[in-house]
Structure 1
């Protein structure tokens, strides 16, 4: 498992890969390799979003197919890099916390900043890579 300065860089890289795939990609098989079987996702607006990796990936697969429509709403997440904080969890992985911004656009229309939120995630180091294990997504607010 990476440590020291490499820990934060590797978690940030896993974070970027996960969110790019989740918001702008459509590859359920790839997403499955990025989450644990026992993933739990808690959201201040959506409640208990997922109680397993399989459930999370299945919902993603349904939603990513819908995004293929020419006039579908598309979203993008951007990490507020200065807010990122990573700590090790000895013998398991790492904790990551920070803030992120959300952008939306309809079809190929212009993108607009629509929200900001906080997050805390626990990553497990398994099979030589980071896997998302727990998610808290909170403090969602619109951006005027």
Structure 2
């Protein structure tokens, strides 16, 4: 190699690493489903908001049909959940309170948003624990749309926005007869 070629090679700027592309639909769907399960477990039944904080985009915001914008950042929703979990802890004003969220089977759709994210839409139900005698009672339900942004540098999705809507009471059970 000539001295000039060696000099030019040494001065060459390394090619920028190409950020990883968003996964194909099947893999992206599996990741979103896993994130969804972890997210709702942490905020509801598991009451461990710190375990799900990493799933949230720093610019996260939540819009809710009944209350407007209850959370305008990841930090805000995690801190709010910490307070709620502290209320449920031994000695807290809501000691022993338990609730859960369940995905309505077959209701979820996940689709691509260009090459930058995924849209998840589904229905879910909400339940409260009423003690050993009664067990879990459905208290309501709703629908949600989540926008998951692909973060190439982290090679994962983070929840950017949550739209929670169509909230309503639990349907009567058994159903009323006409």
TM-score (ref. length: structure 1): 0.90
CA contact (8 A) 2:71 2:77 kept: yes
**CA shift at 1:107, angstroms?**
6.2
The more displaced of 92-101 and 26-35 is: 26-35
The alignment status of 1:44 with 2:65, answered yes or no, reads: yes
Answer 1 or 2: higher relative contact order, Cα 8 Å, separation at least 6: 1
- Greater shift in the superposed pair: 3-12 or 73-82: 3-12
Matches within 5 A, 1:1-144: 1-69=22-90, 71-106=95-130, 110-126=135-151, 127-143=154-170, 144=172
Q: Would you say how many aligned residue pairs link Structure 1 and Structure 2? A: 144
Q: CA RMSD in A?
A: 1.8
SS in 2 for 1:39: strand
List structure 1 segments (4+ residues) > 4 angstroms apart after TM superposition. 106-109
Structure 1: where are the runs of 5+ without partners? none
Q: In terms of Rg, which structure is larger?
A: 2
Shift of 1:106: 4.3
Please identify which structure carries the higher strand content: 1
